[in-house]
Amino acid sequence: MATKGSFIKQFFKDKQMVGAVAPSSRFLGRKMLENINFDKAKLIIELGPGNGIFTDIILQKMAPDAKLIVFELNEDFYKALSGRVSDPRVEILHESAEFMGKYIPEGVEADCVVSSLPLMVLPEVLRVNIVNTSHKVLKPKGQYIQFQYSLQSKKLLKSIFSTVSIKFTARNIPPAFVYTCHKA
């Protein structure tokens, strides 16, 4: 697994893309993933895995016939993650999250999008595009789960999803809010 040191290095290379100085805690990972019905989910999308802290938990919990598609734009994180994770259920792409629609087979809808993207530091057009595209690829009642270090994303997420609930955890550096959004 990539170390905390390598995470900080990536932060200083590209603050806007990485958006955090340290990887998330496993506790935040569990909070992010606790409402996913892993028995039923057939397609999960992950945006911005970094060193793969959430990827590992998703793969542990996912059904044997489920698929995980992961989008990571940072080349070093992409190479480290695809070098270490070899599970036939996962596809790791060196691609920006806004293009996720291109990689989902015709007629297939996702059960869940798990996003760690630093939404509020992305340019507005990209931010809105990624959240709209996530909504579009989800099946009805599908979930978009996003963590952020502030409540600033609430307005955008409420404008796109039919319900948005927010949990807070102090057991992460920095403390984080987990947004769980549902498509109608």
Residue 142 lies near ligand SAM (rule: CB under 6 A): no
Beta strands 176-182 and 163-169: pairing type? antiparallel
Report the residue number, 151 or 162, with the smaller CB distance to ligand SAM.
Answer: 151
Alpha carbons 168 and 148: distance in angstroms, whole number: 10
3-class DSSP string for 4-61: HHHHHHHHHHCHHHHCCCCCCCHHHHHHHHCCCCCCCCCEEEEECCCCCHHHHHHHHH
Alpha carbons 108 and 86: distance in angstroms, whole number: 23
To ligand SAM, the closest distance from the beta carbon of 37 in angstroms equals: 21
Residue 44 lies near ligand SAM (rule: CB under 6 A): no
Based on the number of CB atoms within 10 Å of its own CB, is 101 exposed (0-12), middle (13-18) or buried (19 or more)? exposed
Residue 74 lies near ligand SAM (rule: CB under 6 A): yes
Report the residue number, 41 or 117, with the smaller CB distance to ligand SAM.
Answer: 117
Q: Quick one: which segment of 35-43, 83-91, 112-120, 158-166 binds ligand SAM (CB under 6 A)?
A: 112-120
Options 23, 127, 144, 146; binder of ligand SAM; rule CB under 6 A: 23
Options 41, 43, 44, 54; binder of ligand SAM; rule CB under 6 A: 54
Apex 113 CA angle, 21 and 153, nearest 5: 55
Residues that contact ligand SAM, how many (by CB under 6 A): 22
Residue 48 lies near ligand SAM (rule: CB under 6 A): yes
Q: Specify the 3-state DSSP secondary structure of 140.
A: strand
Residue 73 lies near ligand SAM (rule: CB under 6 A): yes
The answer to whether residues 120 and 151 touch, using CB atoms and an 8 Å cutoff, is no
Which pair of tokens denotes residue 72?
Answer: 């990571």
Report the residue number, 163 or 174, with the smaller CB distance to ligand SAM.
Answer: 174
Residue 53 lies near ligand SAM (rule: CB under 6 A): yes
Q: Quick one: which segment of 43-51, 59-67, 105-113, 135-143 binds ligand SAM (CB under 6 A)?
A: 43-51
Interface residue list for ligand SAM (CB under 6 A): 17-20, 23-24, 47-50, 53-54, 71-74, 77, 96-97, 116-118
